[in-house]
Amino acid sequence: MKITVVGAGAVGATTADNIIRRELAEEVVLLDIKEGVAEGKSLDMYQTAALLGFNTLPVGSTNDYEKTKGSDVVVITSGLPRKPGMTREELIGVNADIVKSVTQNILKYSPKAILVIVSNPMDTMTYLAFREAGVPKKRIIGMGGALDSARFKTYLALEMGVTPNDINGMVIGGHGDTTMIPLTRLATYNGIPVSRFLSEDKLAKIAADTMVGGATLTKLIGTSAWYAPGAATAFIVESIVRNQKRIVPCSVYLNGEYGQKDIFMGVPVVIGRNGWEKIINLRLSEKEKAAFAKSAEAVRAMNAVLPA
């Protein structure tokens, strides 16, 4: 198994670190346009092998796509991150050019790869990658819901004073501060609805905090977060390479599912060796359905800004 991570910045390097520690591949190629950065970070990571005991080889590359040849999975994190006060949507112009050229270069050397798109605005960048790649839809996966759901579970756990490991919960819809939909109605603590433990007001506050979870961190840190984004991306990659069939909300191509067509949005999918295998059709309430339709409108408006 060979995995490439494009973009050796905060999220890309953290993703690669998670992948090598878990030995998800024999080789992990980290590629960036910044001279020497991917090579340096790869060597730094490999120097942890003698301490941590893994057997995956990280390889750095400054824009040499030849090194990515024959990758089974490719993660795309290249692009600008948010600064405090910025929305993900403001990144569209610059990141569209980057994601477009990266997708073309990657497919030249790894025509069979499964692509996991992280760059923001993620739903639109995933749509763009799909358009450029011209590969079966099941091989294009946008990472957003895995992270937003982890944030949702964390806020629930903190409020309840329990471990996030005992919480189940999902965030669907677009991956934006106003477009994501934390499904409080379906969240559980060891199988018991969290509404048995938390008031409606508390749940509404947790949903609101989840939606601005990324912005809260950007304000605190001064730039966009990386630990949970890197772990969430590796979580998806792990389900692919180990064929775990995890159900993860991911941005995938909708063709009538959830009442939407020709759009990438976050919905629960089964992730396995061939990419996403199946969309899980949740029975949404009328309110949730309306929220999903509104979210789709915002994602569609963003897609419309993409250069032809």
Q: Which residues are catalytic?
A: 175
Examine residue 91 and tell whether it contacts ligand NAI (CB under 6 A): yes
Which range touches ligand NAI (CB under 6 A), out of 8-16, 65-73, 128-136, 265-273? 8-16
- Among 213, 229, 249, 272, interactor with ligand NAI by CB under 6 A: 229
Which range touches ligand NAI (CB under 6 A), out of 19-27, 114-122, 260-268, 294-302? 114-122
- Among 92, 102, 248, 265, interactor with ligand NAI by CB under 6 A: 102
Distance CA(99)–CA(95), nearest Å, equals: 6
20 closest CA partner among 45, 43, 47: 45
Which range touches ligand NAI (CB under 6 A), out of 52-60, 76-84, 196-204, 254-262? 76-84
Q: For the residues of 188-214, what is the DSSP string, one character each?
A: EETTEEGGGTS-HHHHHHHHHHHHTHH
Examine residue 249 and tell whether it contacts ligand NAI (CB under 6 A): no
Q: Smaller CB distance to ligand NAI: residue 164 or 195? A: 164
Count of other CB atoms within 10 angstroms of residue 285: 12
- Contacts to ligand NAI from residues 141-180, by CB under 6 A: 143-144, 147, 175
**Tokens matching residue 62:** 């400054």
172 closest CA partner among 158, 159, 162, 186: 186
Examine residue 107 and tell whether it contacts ligand NAI (CB under 6 A): no
CA dihedral 5, 261, 287, 177 (to 10 degrees): 30
Examine residue 98 and tell whether it contacts ligand NAI (CB under 6 A): yes
Examine residue 76 and tell whether it contacts ligand NAI (CB under 6 A): no
280 near 267, Cβ under 8 Å? yes
Examine residue 25 and tell whether it contacts ligand NAI (CB under 6 A): no
The answer, yes or no, to whether the previous bond of 121 is cis (omega within 30 of 0) is: yes
Q: How far is the CB of 266 from ligand NAI (least distance, A)?
A: 10
CA within 13 Å, CB half, 49: 15
Q: Smaller CB distance to ligand NAI: residue 198 or 275? A: 275
**Tokens matching residue 5:** 């991570």
Q: Which positions touch ligand NAI (CB under 6 A)?
A: 6-12, 31-34, 77-82, 91, 95, 98, 101-102, 118-120, 122, 143-144, 147, 175, 224, 226, 229
